[in-house]
Each structure stands twice: as structure tokens, then as C-alpha cells.
């Protein structure tokens, strides 16, 4: 087989890899459950390429992510559930349905009106899915039908917290301004301090979760993506600690051979260099 820009070639290759007897042993033993972690990993690698503004890597990572979609679709086709064409049909139908201001008669809407219409259409879709599941004898959990429905469990915790808060906010369950959230953070910080004083692991975990949830809430009110903010801080920490290691290595030493005061001084040196370079 030769490479091609045609999606049909990718689908053919995936089918060949999954053909018993002549396909790839590794691909043949995979299932939806075993492939799901790779799907998440590839999505993160796409985000990483975007953050680094590396278009070459982005092209490669988008291809890897597309492969995940084709892989899942192939396994579903083998089970007689749906095929890749069904996936394309479902998303094109959804896009047309959710954009009546582009493909229908709802014209000249403001961005806020478009957002409201989108939410209304999604809510109707959820009701219809719940009805369809009920008619098919499938369980419909109460949480799936409530205001917080539709927030996937596998999302990173910070991202899921953000989405839960956004949904709650749409029905009026929200702080009025960021200063109220700051007060909540102070309250949660005090409760963490009390839990640390008492020394109960379960209580500390619970209070730390409340504190993190409140910090995500503050980020939301400030218009900041908490996952992106923490990713930036992780990068900053890595960069500054790398400076500490480099300076110690130049003196023939390792971090474990230095005192905390020495490393803190080098850390401050890294911060100063960043300020000067800004």
C-alpha cells in the first residue's frame, strides 16, 4: 500500500491491520477499553504541539488522533454497531443541527444569542437521547438528565471542575463576583490548616479537594483556563529547577548535595534572569 491523502486509504489500512490471519497481532488483540488510554494520550499530544506552536508536530499528532477515531470505528464496524461513515454522518448532522444561524433560518444572531441557542439545542438532544435509551430498555441515570449532565468522568479533574461550575452557573448557582470566590478560598485554606493540625488523611484530602475546586472557580471568574494556567506553572517550575541543576552541575554537585538555602538562592537567581529577559 502507498501513502495517500484520501481518508479511504487510512480506513483500508486499519481494516488490513485488523484482518485475522494476515493483520497485526497487536492491533488484533485490542479492544475499545485498551485503546481508550491511547486516545486520551494522543489528544494531549495534540494540545502539547499547539502549545509549542510546532506545526510539523501538530500535523503528525492530528494524524495519530485521527487514527484513534478510525481504530474505534473499525472495531465498531466489526461488532456491527457503526462504521467510519456513520461517525462522519453523525458529526455532520450535529453541526448542521446546532448551527441553524448558518445552515437554517435563524439569521443575524448575536454571539450571546448563538451561545444560548447552542445550549438549548444540546439540551433538546440530551432529552431525546434519554427518551431513546428509555425506549430501548437501557438505564437512564438521574444525573445524566440534570443540569450537570454531559460532563465526562475521564476528564482531567481541573477541567471537569471547570465544566461542572460552568453548567451550574447557567442555572444561577454561582458567585456574583471574583471577590466572593477569594473569600471562599480563604475559608477553604483555613479548613485545610485545621485538617493538617488534626492529622486525618481523609479530612486533609477532602479539604484539599474543596480548596482546589474553589481555585478553579476563581480562575473561571477571571477568564483563565485552570488547566492551561497550571500547565504554564509546571513549565515554569521545570525551567527554573533546570537552572538550579545546571548551576550546581557546573560546580560538580547534584541537588541532593546542596542545602535548601543554596537551591532557593539559585531559584531566585533563575527568577531574576527571567525578569531581566522579559
pLDDT digits (tens, 9 = 90+) for 32-90: 999 999 998 999 899 889 988 999 999 999 999 999 999 999 999 999 999 999 999 99
Output the nine-digit C-alpha cell for 252: 560538580
- The DSSP call for residue 138 is -
Output the nine-digit C-alpha cell for 10: 487510512
Give me the residue label for grid cell 557546573.
Answer: 250
User: Distance between CA 242 and CA 249 in Å, rounded?
Assistant: 10
Helices (H), the chain: 7-17, 25-28, 32-51, 55-78, 84-98, 100-103, 111-135, 142-145, 157-170, 178-198, 201-221, 226-250, 260-277
The answer to whether the pTM exceeds 0.85 is no
Q: Are 113 and 103 in contact (CB under 8 A)?
A: no
Homologous superfamily of the 157-224 domain (CATH): MazG-like (1.10.287.1080)
Which of the residue ranges 13-17, 116-120, 208-212 would you say has the lowest mean pLDDT? 116-120
- How many Cβ atoms are within 10 Å of 220's Cβ, its own excluded? 21
172-230, pLDDT tens digit by residue? 999 999 999 999 999 999 999 999 999 999 999 999 999 999 999 999 999 999 988 99
Q: How distant is the alpha carbon of residue 214 from its chain centre?
A: 19
- Is the pLDDT higher at 243 or at 131? 243
For residue 144, the model assigns a pLDDT of: 54
Say if residue 149 is exposed, middle or buried (CB neighbours under 10 Å; 0-12, 13-18, 19+): middle
User: Distance between CA 99 and CA 92 in Å, rounded?
Assistant: 11
Please give the CATH topology (third level) of the domain spanning 7-99: Helix Hairpins (1.10.287)
Say if residue 165 is exposed, middle or buried (CB neighbours under 10 Å; 0-12, 13-18, 19+): buried
Say if residue 238 is exposed, middle or buried (CB neighbours under 10 Å; 0-12, 13-18, 19+): exposed
Amino acid at each position: 500500500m502507498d501513502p495517500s491523502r484520501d481518508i479511504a486509504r487510512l480506513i483500508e489500512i486499519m481494516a488490513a491491520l485488523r484482518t485475522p490471519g494476515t493483520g497485526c497481532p497487536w492491533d488484533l488483540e485490542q479492544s475499545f477499553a485498551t485503546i481508550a488510554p491511547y486516545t486520551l494520550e494522543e489528544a494531549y499530544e495534540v494540545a502539547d504541539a499547539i502549545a509549542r506552536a510546532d506545526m510539523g508536530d501538530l500535523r503528525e499528532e492530528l494524524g495519530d488522533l485521527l487514527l484513534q477515531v478510525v481504530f474505534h470505528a473499525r472495531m465498531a464496524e466489526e461488532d456491527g454497531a457503526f462504521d467510519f461513515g456513520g461517525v462522519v454522518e453523525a458529526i455532520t448532522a450535529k453541526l448542521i443541527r446546532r448551527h441553524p444561524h448558518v445552515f437554517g433560518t435563524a439569521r443575524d444572531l448575536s454571539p450571546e444569542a448563538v451561545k444560548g441557542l447552542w445550549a438549548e439545542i444540546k439540551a433538546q438532544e440530551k432529552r431525546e437521547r434519554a427518551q431513546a435509551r428509555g425506549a430501548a430498555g437501557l438505564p437512564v441515570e438521574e444525573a445524566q438528565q440534570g443540569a450537570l449532565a454531559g460532563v465526562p468522568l475521564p476528564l482531567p479533574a481541573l477541567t471537569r471542575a471547570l465544566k461542572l461550575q460552568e453548567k451550574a452557573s447557567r442555572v444561577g448557582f454561582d458567585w456574583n463576583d471574583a471577590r466572593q470566590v477569594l473569600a471562599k478560598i480563604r475559608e477553604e485554606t483555613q479548613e485545610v490548616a485545621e485538617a493538617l493540625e488534626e492529622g486525618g488523611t481523609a479530612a486533609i484530602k477532602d479539604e484539599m479537594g474543596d480548596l482546589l475546586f474553589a481555585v478553579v472557580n476563581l480562575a473561571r471568574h477571571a477568564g483563565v483556563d485552570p488547566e492551561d494556567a497550571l500547565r504554564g506553572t509546571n513549565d515554569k517550575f521545570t525551567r527554573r529547577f533546570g537552572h538550579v541543576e545546571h548551576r550546581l552541575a557546573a560546580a560538580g554537585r547534584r541537588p541532593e548535595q546542596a542545602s535548601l538555602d543554596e537551591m532557593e538562592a539559585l531559584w531566585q537567581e533563575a527568577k531574576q534572569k527571567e525578569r531581566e529577559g522579559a
